[in-house]
Amino acid sequence: MINPLSLWNKTPTRQAILDFVVAVTDESGPSYVPPAERIATFDNDGTLWCEKPAYIQLFFGLQRLKEQAATNPALLAQPAYKAAAAGDLAYFDSLYPGNLTELMKLIFDTHAGMTQAEFEAQALAFLSEANHPRYGRPFKQLTYQPMIELIRYLEANEFKVFIATAGGMSFVRTVSEEIYGIPREQVIGSNVAYETRLTDAGPVLFRKPGLVDPISDGPGKPVNIELHIGRKPILAGGNADGDIHMLWYSQTSPYRSLQLLLRHDDSEREYAYDTGAEKVQQLAAVRNWQVISMQGDFLQVFPFK
């Protein structure tokens, strides 16, 4: 690439990434890594796309809860339906991180009973048509352009890039090729149980209630990486405490590795917050992980200004 990482400011962070890629691709150098081992994994929420004022998939789940409550008002007696109808994001925020499993089950179970094809059609329509409350743009446009440029740079240097999201694998897969250029099969995430039913049209996949263990967050991320990839990443990128295990796991690779931690410190162009990332930021200093400052390192944030 003639001008790699052109959407990044010329900072030590950008240079560290460039130096790492040069080192692991130099066949004559001591840090050379064979192409088959050049695996990169990135968290999604807050690392590749915006996660504020709430996770995008939560907005998707709230839409479904509202629809169900409108059809059956008796559901409003349940706290989640009542909060969804009132647009009370604070209720759902109160479930994280202490009741993460409960929160995720609530979001995922909203679409239980429908076919996988129906779910994906609804998810794609939501991501394409529903607008972010602050930016007034479709949710699928809330992607960090410097991170996507980094993905292209890695791929140009024979890295195979995976998304390792705590969110729904199927939810992200509906747009991963369009917005990230990452094939569906290279998206790892939390998953629901499925069942196949024989119909007149043949076997049809249906979504069942409940999540498949482990959730792709925290200690579950390395497990799912092993299940889906079978190789340790030599580069991993995240932004929150739920990414600690993935970042540290990549650092145990026998090859030279790089860990990237995106810090949200740009209230003007995005959001400024450290909540939910206190532990990983402390550990980054101890373990020499590279911290990306959105304010200082990103020349541009979103595809729109």
Q: Are 8 and 290 in contact (CB under 8 A)?
A: no
pLDDT at 289 (0 to 100): 98
pLDDT at 158 over 80: yes
Query: Is residue 292 classed exposed, middle or buried when 0-12, 13-18 and 19+ CB atoms within 10 A define those classes?
Result: buried
How far apart are the C-alpha atoms of 169 and 194, rounded to whole Å? Answer: 13
Element (H, E) at 190: strand 187-199
pLDDT at 108 (0 to 100): 86
C-alpha distances (whole Å) from 174 to each of 81, 201, 247, 293 are 26, 23, 26, 29
Lowest-pLDDT choice from 90-99, 137-146, 202-211: 90-99
Domains of the chain from N-terminus onward: 12-50+143-297 (3.40.50.1000), 56-129 (no CATH)
Strands 187-199 and 160-168: parallel
> Taking the CA of residue 167 as centre, how many other CA atoms within 13 Å lie in the half-sphere pointing to its CB?
27
Q: Which pLDDT tens digit goes with each residue over 236-256?
A: 999 999 999 999 999 999 999
Q: Are 13 and 297 in contact (CB under 8 A)?
A: yes
Q: Which pLDDT tens digit goes with each residue over 7-44?
A: 999 999 999 999 999 999 999 999 999 999 999 999 99
